[in-house]
């Protein structure tokens, strides 16, 4: 009742207050005052006459909501206990071995054999070879592979590429290889001395698109004849096994080519970054391979093959970016200008904050794509969103790393210039930024 009465009265008063009539008669102030007083006393009345609250139930402690028992996996970025142990082991190897040798490996344009051997002891290859062929893998592990790539590249991206390239080949053979291809090539990867192996997709053409290959594979009887040039092929000079992407009459395909095959040669240009990976151009001149060496059967999915490779590169970029971030934070807290640490300048602090935000953004996009791949769901869209974002932001973080160190950043004395060059690779592998 009270509410109705007050409501009507206020409604009438408000209409009156907003009309021109008051100004003409000269009583606006009085009416406005009246509306104000009535509102105040009116609301007081309501609050005292409305509902009375009573405790109907006695609580011993406050009721709080807990985490749901099951998660959808969508936003659960926790790793399993096993993955954590793998991360710990790989990361200590990366920081204690790869980081220490990064500068020398960059200068030598090669990853030291000793480092490769030590990496082998980690058993990375076993992880890509099924148990039935002497490995240790029992299920798909796109996420774990990604975490390994990230943690290795945290130490040094160039050496990480050299270490991971054979694993990528083994993973591809496990995913798509025919029974004959698997039994011929996979057991070697679980050997004490596994082969150096690498994947060649990128080509030195403007606006390169991995689906529009200029390297060709022409069917000739029971063989394929490959011709073309590949660029940025890690371990090109030393690999014993290559997976080479080439265009066939029925779309892009991947061929297993053994090192030393006639017509296979590599160039000299090392590129500006990830030099320790030993990446060089690869030349194919009438290279003949048996038709049985075309990877997989009809179930081979070239897009997935490329997308999984892209995700591995994204993982490495994330690891390298984390390295940059972990380096610039203490530097900017210690480096003084104008009597205080440069991190006290907003212009500096904002760059670092952006790095951290973008790094987490990259992780979420990339992890999600990998998680879908692992579950066997389609992940092309997710992989492409991830790739586009990572290409942009990883290079930005590389640049910012140099910028935050000022003049120091430009010198060889500090590692950020190397990280900048390494991260630049993400903009060109598997096609440029604008595809």
Is 189 one of the binding residues for other proteins (CB under 8 A)?
A: no
> Scanning residues 132 to 171, which ones bind other proteins (CB under 8 A)?
135-136
For the bound state, the minimum distance from the C-beta of residue 291 to other proteins, rounded and expressed in Å, comes to 35
Cβ neighbours, 10 Å, residue 323:
26
361 Cα distance to chain centroid: 9
C-alpha closest to that of 226 among 135, 171, 280, 294: 294
In terms of CB distance, is 76 or 131 closer to other proteins?
131
Stretch that binds other proteins, among 120-128, 232-240, 266-274, 341-349 (CB under 8 A): 120-128
C-alpha closest to that of 201 among 254, 262, 146: 254
C-alpha closest to that of 243 among 285, 326, 185, 286: 185
Stretch that binds other proteins, among 88-96, 219-227, 337-345, 370-378 (CB under 8 A): 88-96
Helices marked H in 252-379: 302-334, 346-375
C-alpha closest to that of 226 among 205, 198, 248: 248
Is 333 one of the binding residues for other proteins (CB under 8 A)?
A: no
For the bound state, the minimum distance from the C-beta of residue 52 to other proteins, rounded and expressed in Å, comes to 43
Give the three-state DSSP class for 235: coil
Q: What is the helix (H) or strand (E) element at residue 114, kind and residue range?
A: helix 113-121
Is 340 one of the binding residues for other proteins (CB under 8 A)?
A: no
For the bound state, the minimum distance from the C-beta of residue 92 to other proteins, rounded and expressed in Å, comes to 6
Return the residue of 20, 60, 113, 121 that touches other proteins, per CB under 8 A.
121
Distances (CA, A) of 71 to 66, 76, 428: 12, 7, 37
For the bound state, the minimum distance from the C-beta of residue 154 to other proteins, rounded and expressed in Å, comes to 13
For the bound state, the minimum distance from the C-beta of residue 367 to other proteins, rounded and expressed in Å, comes to 19
User: How many residues of this chain bind other proteins (CB under 8 A)?
Assistant: 18
For the bound state, the minimum distance from the C-beta of residue 357 to other proteins, rounded and expressed in Å, comes to 20
Q: x-or-dash pattern for other proteins, window 54-73, by CB under 8 A?
A: --------------------
Contact, 320 vs 157, CB < 8 A?
yes
In terms of CB distance, is 281 or 319 closer to other proteins?
319
For the bound state, the minimum distance from the C-beta of residue 336 to other proteins, rounded and expressed in Å, comes to 12
Unique residue bearing structure tokens 């999984």: 308
Is 85 one of the binding residues for other proteins (CB under 8 A)?
A: yes
DSSP string, 360-372: HHHHHHHHHHHHH
Return the residue of 45, 122, 325, 356 that touches other proteins, per CB under 8 A.
122
Give the three-state DSSP class for 295: coil
Cβ neighbours, 10 Å, residue 198:
28
Q: Positive or negative, the Cα torsion across 285, 286, 292, 296?
A: positive
In terms of CB distance, is 77 or 433 closer to other proteins?
77
Contact, 283 vs 269, CB < 8 A?
no
Return the residue of 12, 40, 88, 326 that touches other proteins, per CB under 8 A.
88
For the bound state, the minimum distance from the C-beta of residue 373 to other proteins, rounded and expressed in Å, comes to 19
Return the residue of 71, 92, 132, 378 that touches other proteins, per CB under 8 A.
92
In terms of CB distance, is 85 or 337 closer to other proteins?
85
Is 356 one of the binding residues for other proteins (CB under 8 A)?
A: no
In terms of CB distance, is 11 or 123 closer to other proteins?
123
C-alpha–C-alpha distance, residues 216 and 284, integer Å: 10
412 contacts: CB under 8 Å, gap ≥ 6: 103, 418
Stretch that binds other proteins, among 30-38, 89-97, 228-236, 259-267 (CB under 8 A): 89-97
Measured N-to-C along each axis, helices 302-334 and 346-375 cross at an angle, to the nearest 10 degrees, of: 150
Give the three-state DSSP class for 9: helix
Return the residue of 89, 227, 265, 388 that touches other proteins, per CB under 8 A.
89
Binding residues vs other proteins (CB under 8 A): 81-82, 84-86, 88-90, 92-93, 121-124, 126-127, 135-136
């Amino acid at each position: 009742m009270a509410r109705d009465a007050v409501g009507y009265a206020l409604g009438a008063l408000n209409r009156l207050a907003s009309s021109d009539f008051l100004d003409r008669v000269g009583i606006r102030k009085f009416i406005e005052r009246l509306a104000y007083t009535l509102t105040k006393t009116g609301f007081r009345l309501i609050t005292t006459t409305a509902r009375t609250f009573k405790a109907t139930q006695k609580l011993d402690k406050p009721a709080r909501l807990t985490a749901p028992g099951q998660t959808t996996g969508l936003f659960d970025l926790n790793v399993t206990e096993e993955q954590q142990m793998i991360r710990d082991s790989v990361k200590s190897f990366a920081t204690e071995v790869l980081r220490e040798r990064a500068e020398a490996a960059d200068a030598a344009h090669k990853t030291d054999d000793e480092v490769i051997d030590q990496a082998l002891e980690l058993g990375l290859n076993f992880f890509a070879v099924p148990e039935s062929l002497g490995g240790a893998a029992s299920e798909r592990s796109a996420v774990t592979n990604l975490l390994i790539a990230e943690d290795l590249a945290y130490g040094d991206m160039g050496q990480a590429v050299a270490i991971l390239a054979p694993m990528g080949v083994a993973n591809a053979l496990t995913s798509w290889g025919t029974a004959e291809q698997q039994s011929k090539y996979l057991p070697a990867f679980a050997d004490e001395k596994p082969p150096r192996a690498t994947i060649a997709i990128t080509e030195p053409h403007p606006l390169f698109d991995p689906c529009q290959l200029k390297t060709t594979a022409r069917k000739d009887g029971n063989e394929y004849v490959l011709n073309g040039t590949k660029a940025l092929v890690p371990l090109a000079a030393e690999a014993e096994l290559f997976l080479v992407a080439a265009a066939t009459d029925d779309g892009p395909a991947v061929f297993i080519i053994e090192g030393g095959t006639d017509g296979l040669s590599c160039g000299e240009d090392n590129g500006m970054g990830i030099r320790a990976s030993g990446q060089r151009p690869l030349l194919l001149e009438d290279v003949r391979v048996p038709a049985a060496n075309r990877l997989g059967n009809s179930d081979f999915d070239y897009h997935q093959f490329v997308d999984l490779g892209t995700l591995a590169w994204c993982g490495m970029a994330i690891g390298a970016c984390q390295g940059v971030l972990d380096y610039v934070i203490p530097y900017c807290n210690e480096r003084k200008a104008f009597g205080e640490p440069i991190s006290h300048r907003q212009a500096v602090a904002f760059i670092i904050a952006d790095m951290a935000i973008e790094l987490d953004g990259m992780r979420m996009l990339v992890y999600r794509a990998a998680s879908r791949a692992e579950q066997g769901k389609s992940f092309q869209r997710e992989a492409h969103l991830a790739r586009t974002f990572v290409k942009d932001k990883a290079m930005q973080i590389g640049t910012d790393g140099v910028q935050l160190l000022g003049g120091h950043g430009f010198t060889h004395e500090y590692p950020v210039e190397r990280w900048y060059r390494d991260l630049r690779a993400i903009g060109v592998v598997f096609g440029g930024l604008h595809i």
